Chains A and B, each alone.
Chain A
Amino acid sequence: MKQQEEIFEYLQKEFGEETVEFYKGDVGQPWLKLPAEYLKKMANFLRDNAELRFNTLMCLSGTHYPDKSELGVTYHLHSTLHGHTVAFKVATPADQPEIPSVESIWKTANWHEREAMDMFGILFKDHPNMKRILCPDDWQGYPLRKDYKPQEYYQSMPTGT
């Protein structure tokens, strides 16, 4: 079982010191920040390294940071073999949000990424079925973005009171 600092050092040793950042807030779990272009390599490393073995993606969720005009994705991993947990974040510009899909690494990501796409409009590259999961296919906009304004009518039904 490893602490997040140790996992951070593993990633630094493998990919170089500049690539990963370590954050710790006043409350809650510390997290790592990964660059989007390294995401798939690092995810593969986290899953396959004999001492890490993160075989479960517990959660994948989208976030909108309007002050930075960025969209982000937070990943929570768990290793059922070693019992340790890690959280990491990836950010992408809000006007062209694209992040590589980790569906080929953890199958759990399939629906989670579709949800993040549905709610935040983050496009996951190489996802096998990148379409909305909760809202109807012809829905306009991304409901969980901070600047979201609902459409007034959906199929000529009013959305307001």
Chain B
Amino acid sequence: MGILDKKYHDSTIIIVNLQSALNWARKNSLWYEQFGLACCAIEMMATAASKYDFDRFGIIPRSSPRQSDVMIVAGTVTMKMASRIKRLYEQMSEPRYVISMGSCSNCGGPYWEHGYHVLKGVDKVIPVDVYVPGCPPRPEALLEGFIKLQEKISGETIIKEKNPELKAEKV
């Protein structure tokens, strides 16, 4: 009796290819790094709380970058913070994802012109998978961002490398 024969008789066995099993597991247990930078963090907390309930998507906060899969950059990335964010990103184990939440981390937001102290978009420092617009985005928007990320993860292959290595550039 091969395993294929059991497919329709034994309800505890599902036959699926490795790639979609991995993607299914990854996209349904997105643990995010528990840190916030500004007012977007308040919306992020609201999304995690009982009314919007991140947990129903398997999204829970982790206090260590080494145990988390996704980083939500929730707020203004100052020049001082940017190097810390980069270090946090480097400490995460792969596969790792980044959600840029709100106008500030997307493009500098209200600081885009005269904010000497603000990095004009976190994508200048780390690669971003999903951008969530808004100032700050509502919890529904952040949830939508996570659903987009889940879609992205379900299309991944295990053969191709996800992120090209970041290269330092001399200026």
Contact = CB atoms under 8 A, between A and B. Distances in A.
17 contacts: A134-B117, A136-B79, A143-B117, A153-B171, A155-B79, A155-B83, A156-B168, A156-B169, A157-B82, A157-B119, A157-B124, A157-B125, A159-B116, A161-B108, A161-B112, A161-B113, A161-B121
A160 B79 CA distance: 11
Interface string A117-153: 0000000000000000011100000010000101001
A150 B79 CA distance: 12
Given A136-B79, A161-B107, A161-B108, A156 B171 contact: yes
Nearest to A158: B124
A65 interface: no
A154 B79 contact: yes
Interface of B: 79-80, 82-83, 107-108, 112-113, 116-117, 119-121, 124-125, 168-171
A161 B108 CA distance: 8
Please give me the 9 A-B residue pairs with the lowest Cβ-Cβ distance, nearest first: A150-B116, A161-B120, A154-B79, A136-B80, A156-B171, A143-B116, A153-B171, A157-B82, A161-B112
B117 A135 contact: yes
A136 B80 CA distance: 6
Contacts of A155: 79, 83
A159 B117 CA distance: 7
A136 B83 CA distance: 11
Contacts of B82: 157
A159 B79 contact: yes
Contacts of B170: 156
Contacts of B113: 161
Contacts of B79: 136, 154-155, 157, 159
Contacts of A153: 171
Nearest to A148: B116
A160 B169 CA distance: 17
Nearest to B168: A156
A153 B170 CA distance: 11
Nearest to B113: A161
Contacts of B168: 156
Nearest to A135: B117
Contacts of A150: 116
Contacts of A157: 79, 82-83, 119, 124-125
A157 B108 CA distance: 14
Contacts of B108: 161
Contacts of B117: 134-135, 143
Contacts of B107: 161
Contacts of A159: 79, 116, 119-120
* Among A134, A153, A160, residue most surrounded by chain B Cβ atoms (within 10 Å): A160
Nearest to A156: B171
A136 B120 CA distance: 17
Contacts of B119: 157, 159
B169 A158 contact: no
Contacts of B116: 143, 148, 150, 159
Nearest to A160: B120
A135 B116 CA distance: 10
